[in-house]
Amino acid sequence: MAIGTYGITRPADVLISDIEMYFNYTPDRYTNNTDIFPLTPTSDYLSELNLPTTDPNAVGSENILEGLYNLTLPAAVFNQLGIYTIYIKPKMINTVIVDCSVLSALPTIKGIVIDINSLTDPNLAANNALQGYRIEYINADGTKLRNTVRYVVTANKVVPVSENVGNTSQKAVRYRFDDSGTLLFLQLTPSSSSDVKPNATPFIGNIGQTILISNTFFSPVVVEVSLVENTIDTLSNFVAGEQVKDVENGVLTYYDNNRVITKQFNLFEIKDDVTDVPLYEVKEKRANIDETQNFDAVTNGL
């Protein structure tokens, strides 16, 4: 029987180098910590997974399994008990708009111009390598211009050319496609006026304005990781696992499934000074483990 399920969701096969990671730490849910720390390089924390195959020589034996990545949490960074919030997002490039202009051959096509040398990834300098990337804007005070996003339609290398404006003697700088150029002309969307307001041109940026360029290969992901002292297994060992009580020394010892000492406590009573009547029974956590309480050594001596 057909279930009639259809979908168009495409799992991401983004490169590790196109991903940024950050984390926030707080010891508990009652403490507010706004400090954000980067996780670099990303390759130390994320790795790709390949599709399984029985024939290592088969075509596609090393094809990536889209949408699934290994997340590694090294003890050198994640070494405190508490809550880690890990933010995985598309890599972002910070650059400046060199010019807002039009193409010489197509004066109706308006776009922004950026310097190729400002791109941290040289692969993005190729023609249309930035196609589909997202553009966000930074205000003069350094804050982000919220809820204003543009997308790159085309990205081509250009060189500036000076041309007359209309029938006047005034000159204007326009741009011509040239694969030897050191500038990129980015056509954005939306950038053209609507039929409702033909005189209202959409904002695409200003000369000298800082912009943020990021890929749209995947949606940001937030992962919360809690590092705790005890797990379900260790707690079950305390309740139903093996333990030894040294009656003479008043030491209570707990063990894991392999009979390795996990916890030790001192057991003693507090009595009334006058009547010698027991008032309290105390179980106090030991700071130093008494290794003589080895389970096999104790039980073999019986």
Q: List, for residues 219-253, the tens digit of each pLDDT value.
A: 999 999 999 888 888 888 888 889 999 998 999 99
| pLDDT number for residue 165 | 64
Q: 48, 71, 90 — which closes off a domain?
A: 90
Lowest mean pLDDT among 160-164, 167-171, 214-218, 277-281: 167-171
| pLDDT number for residue 57 | 65
pLDDT at 302 over 80: no
Residues 86 and 135 in one domain: no
| pLDDT number for residue 74 | 95
| pLDDT number for residue 41 | 95
Residues 240 and 284 in one domain: yes
| pLDDT number for residue 18 | 95
Residues 96 and 211 in one domain: yes
Residues 96 and 212 in one domain: yes
pLDDT at 20 over 60: yes
Residues 113 and 170 in one domain: yes
Residues 182 and 113 in one domain: yes
Question: pLDDT-derived band of residue 83, with 50, 70 and 90 as boundaries?
Answer: very high
Residues 197 and 135 in one domain: yes
Residues 238 and 211 in one domain: no
| pLDDT number for residue 185 | 97
User: Does any domain span residue 264?
Assistant: yes
Residues 85 and 97 in one domain: no
User: Does any domain span residue 27?
Assistant: yes
User: Does any domain span residue 122?
Assistant: yes
| pLDDT number for residue 170 | 62
pLDDT digits (tens, 9 = 90+) for 257-286: 899 999 999 999 999 888 889 999 999 999
| pLDDT number for residue 197 | 72
| pLDDT number for residue 75 | 92
pLDDT at 166 over 80: no
| pLDDT number for residue 61 | 52
Question: pLDDT-derived band of residue 169, with 50, 70 and 90 as boundaries?
Answer: low
Residues 36 and 126 in one domain: no
Give the residue numbers spanning the domain of 149: 92-217
User: Does any domain span residue 9?
Assistant: no
Q: 32, 58, 90 — which closes off a domain?
A: 90
User: Does any domain span residue 29?
Assistant: yes
Residues 43 and 147 in one domain: no
Number of domains in the chain: 3
3-state secondary structure the chain: CCCCCCCCCCCCCCCHHHEEEEEEEECCCCCCCCCCEECCCHHHCEEEEECCCCCCCCCCCCCEEEEEEEECCCCCCCCCCEEEEEEEEECEEEEECCEEEEECCCCCCEEEEEEHHHCCCHHHHCCCCCCCCEEEEECCCCCEEEEEEEEEEEEEEEEEEEEECCCCCCEEEEEEECCCCCEEEEEEECCCCCCCCCCCCCCCCCCCCEEEEECCCCCCEEEEEEECCCCHHHHHHHHHCCEEEECCCCEEEEECCCCCEEEEEEEEEEECCCCCCEEEEEEEECCCCCHHHCHHHHHHCC
Q: 154, 183, 217 — which closes off a domain?
A: 217
Residues 74 and 97 in one domain: no
pLDDT at 44 over 80: yes
| pLDDT number for residue 50 | 86
User: Does any domain span residue 67?
Assistant: yes
**Mean of pLDDT values over 191-196:** 73
pLDDT digits (tens, 9 = 90+) for 103-142: 988 888 899 999 999 998 889 999 999 999 999 999 999 9
User: Does any domain span residue 254?
Assistant: yes
User: Does any domain span residue 3?
Assistant: no
Question: pLDDT-derived band of residue 192, with 50, 70 and 90 as boundaries?
Answer: confident
**Comparison of pLDDT for 38 and 9, the residue scoring more:** 38
Question: pLDDT-derived band of residue 39, with 50, 70 and 90 as boundaries?
Answer: very high
pLDDT at 167 over 60: no
Query: Where residue 131 sits, what CATH number does that domain have?
Result: 2.40.30
